Amino acid sequence: MLQKREKVLFLRTFRGRTLRIVREHYLRPSVPCNSPLCPQPAACRNDGKLLTMDVTHYVIPDWKVVQDYLEILEFPELKGIIFMQTACQAVQHQRGWRQYNKLRSLLKDARRDCILFANEFQQHCYLLRERGESMEKWQTRSIYNAAVWYYHHCQDRMPIVMVTEDEEAIQQYGSETEGVFVISFKVFPAVVCIRNYLDNFWPDLKAAHELWDSILQSRRERENESQESGGKEYPEHLPLEVLEAGIKSGRYIQGILNVNKHRAQMEAFVRLQGASSKDSDLVSDILIHGMKARNRSIHGDVVVVELLPKDEWKGRTAALCENDNEDKASGESSSEPMPTGRVVGILQKNWRDYVVTFPAKEEVQSQGKNAQKILVTPWDYRIPKIRISTQQAEALQDFRVVVRIDSWESTSVYPNGHFVRVLGRIRDLEGEIATILVENSISVVPFSEAQMCEMPVNTPENPWKVSPEEERERKDLRRTHLVFSIDPKGCEDVDDTLSVRTLNNGNLELGVHIADVTHFVAPNSYIDIEARTRATTYYLADRRYDMLPSILSADLCSLLGGVDRYAVSVMWELDEITYEIKKVWYGRTIIRSAYQLFYEAAQELLDGNVSIIEDIPEFKDLDEKSRQAKLEELLWAIGKLTDIARHIRAKRDRCGALELEGVEIHVQLDEKKNIHDLISRQPLEVHEMVAECMILANHWVAKKIWESFPHQALLRQHPPPHQEFFSELRECAKAKGFSIDTRSNKTLADSLGNAKDPSDPVVNRLLRSMATQAMSNALYVSTGSCAEAEFYHYGLALDKYTHFTSPIRRYPDIVVHRLLTAAVSKDKMETEENLFSSKDLEELCRHINNRNRAAQHSQKQSTELFQCMYFKDRDPETEERCISDGVIYSIRTNGVLVFIPRFGIKGAAYLKNKDGLVLSCGPDSRSEWKPGSLQRFQNKITSTTTGGDSLTFHLFDHVTVRISVQTSRCHSDTIRLEIISNKPYMIPNTELSHQSPLLLKSELVKEVTKSVEEAQLAQEVKVNTIQEEYQEYCQTKGRSLYMLLEEIRDLALLDVSNDHGT
């Protein structure tokens, strides 16, 4: 029989008014208890999930415990949890819908041993609130009363532990009812709090203990700071004059904040900058642990840090962690303590446009229809949530949106910002590409009318011609030199060509001829300013955005075959036997490229396969005699260039040049722009040959411009890496019995050369990749801003180096061309007027370095986007291409890092899942998840099940991996790797026959370039609107998907300071 009660609620409106609402409340003699010990299951109507019998006690958390420690209660090891309705409603009303929905999801999850008990509808559990009794006291009393009823309802057969943080409740109820223990996580058995509950009931659940410590510390810091700062969320930043004085005295340290994207809430690092890096005794980055210590600074800000006492230093978290803003892995074990500090001031904010996603529909509705303040989630994990004012939240929830930060006050948990614009729909290709561009601050607006008016004309009606004046001023090579280019098939922006010939004295002449962009781009012209702003051409997986208009990049500055072009040349006279350099000449030239070869054709000719000339247009329509003569001439030139390149490379190797390992993935598209395949780039010897010639030219031009302009030359610097970054490389090599000497680039190169496993070539490839990741960034510098000893290029083992060979796609090369022209010009006064001063050049280098990083990151992110698109359309359970061989290259506390050679993918594979189960392999080597534990060693990790079965994974073990995609609404999708067998993947015969062409280097690239060419051809006949779109933006799309090996080397020198957590 139902009993009627009245329940009084006090609700606050959005305008701040308080309303008193009286509701009818009906009590029942029976409500579902969902316990297998229930004496009357029919009366209780236990038709939902039941608690397990395999527990020693039931746990009933108080309302405050549910609010503050729900993350601990989510651990799957904690079983038999009964959430009272009173506690759930307290979470809903006091913590909002986000945490309430998490609680609801936990209760709905059939894998979790927890239930909801509607105590406020059970007539023996419901208690009226007494006059003068606070809401908090009534809630605790109600939960305790329901716990006592539940204990007796189960006929006293199962002890119940009520966990609370209320000391008065512990004293009042601690020993009131036999069989019902009221405890906190502090003291046991009479009075216990949640910490000592864990100590006594779950002593081995280390992650839960550490998470509790972290939560408690966070609460204490918040309470202390509120008391000290008058309720403020963050301490005030110190005044600028105090910061500057502190930096000067050495008390404070200046640096750039780099947030770890894998643990964005907990870990950030400050890399020393300026005077701090020179004067400090620190040899490593400074750890900034937690948001409070970060003190409102945002990734990329120039901050001032105060070091904490050594006993407060912490270490990097050693566990794998998914990109999760809630940082669930924060309780995992850490590495050795490192210098740790807190931010006391910000010297320079790095705020920019941020791409964000609005909350889902239910979250917006929970804030009310008239809500204006909305928390949006940035696409970049490293950026905190931003509070903006808008009434469009529901309308924009399916879109990527750009916002800007306006302020971040010390009284606010989150920064405040405003809406800027809509980019596109979530998961739409163009919207995701636009997101990548905005996140890297890349502007791809069309070239303006004023800029295009500066461009030369080259039409059938008015063709461009070499001017008589230029013919008089330049050295004409059109009739004296065999000049040709070697580039990816279909390349439009041909920057460079090569030549080699025998001189009358028997010596050789090697020539590198680079497009003369500066002839068409006048200093400080509209197009020069635009090119300087862009700084580089941005290559994405399926398109590129040019630094210069296509009339230059794909036509008049491109050294195409069979047409006259202006060039800037470097030509060396070499000894005919030793190839030693006798003399060098720099100057402006006129060339006509005889052949526009693609890499695979050049490699075939080098290998002696002359039938490839059928694919070379320049050999068509020739009679047999002429064809044979020209073929012999070309074969000699390619062979001689290769011999010279081998000599140059050997010389650099003796000085310590490194062979860097960078994984480049090509996206193969079909005619409808769907992803047909992902293929890792295979190196050819002609790649090395071209690269060595370009490196030689860059080196000699660097020497020349520095000799002429010692204080205002632009060089490419690659500083030596920090030795501590090599620690993982040394440990991994040691696991295979190799010793890596990292004292210099020479010893490192020699060690890597010797670290080869004859039975597994992937080992050396991975070791070189680790060496690459340990490298510092290569940077552009002004010679007036650093000492000569700092010019050294560590990776290439050259005392001076610059970029001269790609002026179509890199602005630094344009600057270098002007410097070289001024150095060799007869009219010094006129040419030197257009050069940058040392100070201006330093500022320009800073800008170019920034844009160069943006180009690297955007290329990487677009490739990852297409990788996810490729695997997203495939069923990982049935699609053969989602199963691949992987190699373990790093061990973490809860999993391993795996490299997949087939696709060039690196990622985490967990050995312990979110349910606390560990990976186990049966007799057939197939994996399954079982209860157990993990034990990590230096070079291996062992998974042991509760049944006693153990499985060990070693460094460089080959395993079979399933590839799938982990989708995210607010962030980019990511590749997910799962080990499904502890044995190497054996390719089925059907797939082997299908993939066999891919196993041959030349055939591989042939297939890819052919597919890309066909896709381009199909695009040309597609709907005209697509063509018009790119014509309007003066951009090119599709063909130039490959880079010179020299650029691959530069891209390999990526900044890994943001990825400490991987």
Helical segments of 377-478, H only: 429-439, 449-453, 468-473
Q: Residue 493: exposed, middle, or buried by beta-carbon count in 10 A (0-12, 13-18, 19+)?
A: buried
Task: For residue 611, give Cα distances in angstroms to 318, 615, 619, 1011.
Answer: 56, 8, 11, 21
Question: Which backbone phi and psi does 703 adopt, to 5 degrees?
Answer: -60, -40
pLDDT of residue 419: 80
- CA dist 665 and 682 (Å) reads 10
- CA dist 484 and 638 (Å) reads 10
3-state DSSP of 805-847: CCCCCEHHHHHHHHHHHHHHCCCHHHHHCCCCCHHHHHHHHHH
Q: What angle do CA 335, 185, 224 make, to 5 degrees?
A: 70
Residue range 754-779: mean pLDDT, rounded: 87
CA nearest neighbour of 27 among 103, 105, 98, 85:
85
Write out the H or E segment, with its range, that includes residue 552: none
CB 573 within 8 A of CB 501: no
DSSP 553: I
pLDDT of residue 643: 95
| Statement: residue 1045 has pLDDT above 60 | no
Distance of CA 975 to the CA centre of its chain: 12
For every residue of 157-215, DSSP letters joined together read -S-EEEE---HHHHHHHTTTSTTEEEE-BS--SSS--HHHHHHHH-TT-HHHHHHHHHH
CA nearest neighbour of 860 among 656, 609, 1054:
1054
Higher pLDDT: 756 or 828? It is 756
Question: Which backbone phi and psi does 1031 adopt, to 5 degrees?
Answer: -65, -40
- What is the sign of the dihedral through the CA atoms of 757, 759, 760 and 761? positive
Which phi-psi region, left, alpha or beta, contains residue 656 (left: φ > 0; alpha: ψ -120 to 50)? left
CA nearest neighbour of 942 among 911, 964, 970:
911
Bridge partner residues of 22 (DSSP): 8
Give the alpha-carbon dihedral of 834, 835, 836, 838, to 10 degrees: -150
Q: Which two tokens stand for residue 252?
A: 């404070």
At 814, the pLDDT band (50, 70, 90 cuts) reads very high
How would you list the strands of the sheet with 595-598, edge to edge?
475-476, 581-592, 564-574, 508-515, 496-502, 483-487, 595-598
pLDDT of residue 1015: 40
- CA dist 14 and 24 (Å) reads 24
- CA dist 784 and 455 (Å) reads 34
| Statement: residue 925 has pLDDT above 80 | no
- CA dist 760 and 979 (Å) reads 20
Report the range of poorest mean pLDDT among 164-173, 425-434, 469-478, 901-910.
164-173
pLDDT of residue 1000: 32
| Statement: residue 391 has pLDDT above 50 | yes
- What is the sign of the dihedral through the CA atoms of 83, 89, 94 and 98? positive
- CA dist 154 and 988 (Å) reads 57
For every residue of 583-605, DSSP letters joined together read EEEEEEEEEEBSEEEEHHHHHHH
Higher pLDDT: 7 or 489? It is 489
| Statement: residue 350 has pLDDT above 70 | yes
Q: Which two tokens stand for residue 304?
A: 């001032």
DSSP 555: I
pLDDT of residue 15: 40
Which phi-psi region, left, alpha or beta, contains residue 160 (left: φ > 0; alpha: ψ -120 to 50)? beta
Helix 624-655 to helix 599-606 angle, to the nearest 10 degrees?
Answer: 90
pLDDT of residue 95: 67
Greatest Cα pair distance, the chain, in angstroms, is: 116
CA nearest neighbour of 549 among 527, 579, 566, 569:
527
| Statement: residue 268 has pLDDT above 60 | yes
At 811, the pLDDT band (50, 70, 90 cuts) reads very high
Which phi-psi region, left, alpha or beta, contains residue 854 (left: φ > 0; alpha: ψ -120 to 50)? alpha
Report the range of poorest mean pLDDT among 255-259, 581-585, 634-638, 1001-1005.
1001-1005
Looking at residue 41, its amino acid is P
pLDDT of residue 171: 79
Give percent of the chain with pLDDT exceeding 90.
43
- CA dist 269 and 267 (Å) reads 7
CA nearest neighbour of 708 among 556, 860, 816:
816
Higher pLDDT: 287 or 666? It is 287
- What confidence tens digit (pLDDT) does each residue in 715-761 have? 999 998 888 888 888 888 888 889 989 888 888 888 888 888 888 88
- What confidence tens digit (pLDDT) does each residue in 934-966 have? 998 888 999 999 888 889 999 999 999 999 999
Give the alpha-carbon dihedral of 32, 38, 43, 46, to 10 degrees: 40
Give percent of the chain with pLDDT exceeding 70.
81
pLDDT of residue 953: 93
Q: Which two tokens stand for residue 621?
A: 């329509």
Q: Residue 907: exposed, middle, or buried by beta-carbon count in 10 A (0-12, 13-18, 19+)?
A: middle
Q: What b-and-e string marks burial along 799-836, b requiring 16 or more CB atoms within 10 Å of the CB? A: ebbbbbbbbbbbbbbbbbbbbbbbbbeeeeeebbeebb
- What confidence tens digit (pLDDT) does each residue in 593-632 have? 999 999 999 999 999 999 999 889 999 888 889 999 999 9
- CA dist 115 and 984 (Å) reads 43
- What confidence tens digit (pLDDT) does each residue in 275-329 have? 455 455 666 789 999 999 999 999 999 999 999 999 999 888 877 776 544 434 3
Distance of CA 976 to the CA centre of its chain: 14
Cis? peptide before 36, omega within 30° of 0: no
Higher pLDDT: 943 or 490? It is 943
pLDDT of residue 305: 96
| Statement: residue 663 has pLDDT above 60 | no
Q: What angle do CA 971, 973, 978 make, to 5 degrees?
A: 130
Q: Which of 69-73, 775-779, 952-956 has maximum average pLDDT?
A: 952-956
| Statement: residue 457 has pLDDT above 70 | yes
At 774, the pLDDT band (50, 70, 90 cuts) reads confident
Average model confidence (pLDDT) for the chain?
A: 82
pLDDT of residue 437: 95
Task: For residue 368, give Cα distances in angstroms to 89, 96, 105, 725, 891.
Answer: 18, 12, 22, 50, 47
Which phi-psi region, left, alpha or beta, contains residue 966 (left: φ > 0; alpha: ψ -120 to 50)? beta
Q: Which of 12-26, 668-682, 965-979 has maximum average pLDDT?
A: 965-979
Residue range 552-573: mean pLDDT, rounded: 95
CB 538 within 8 A of CB 545: yes
CB 530 within 8 A of CB 447: yes
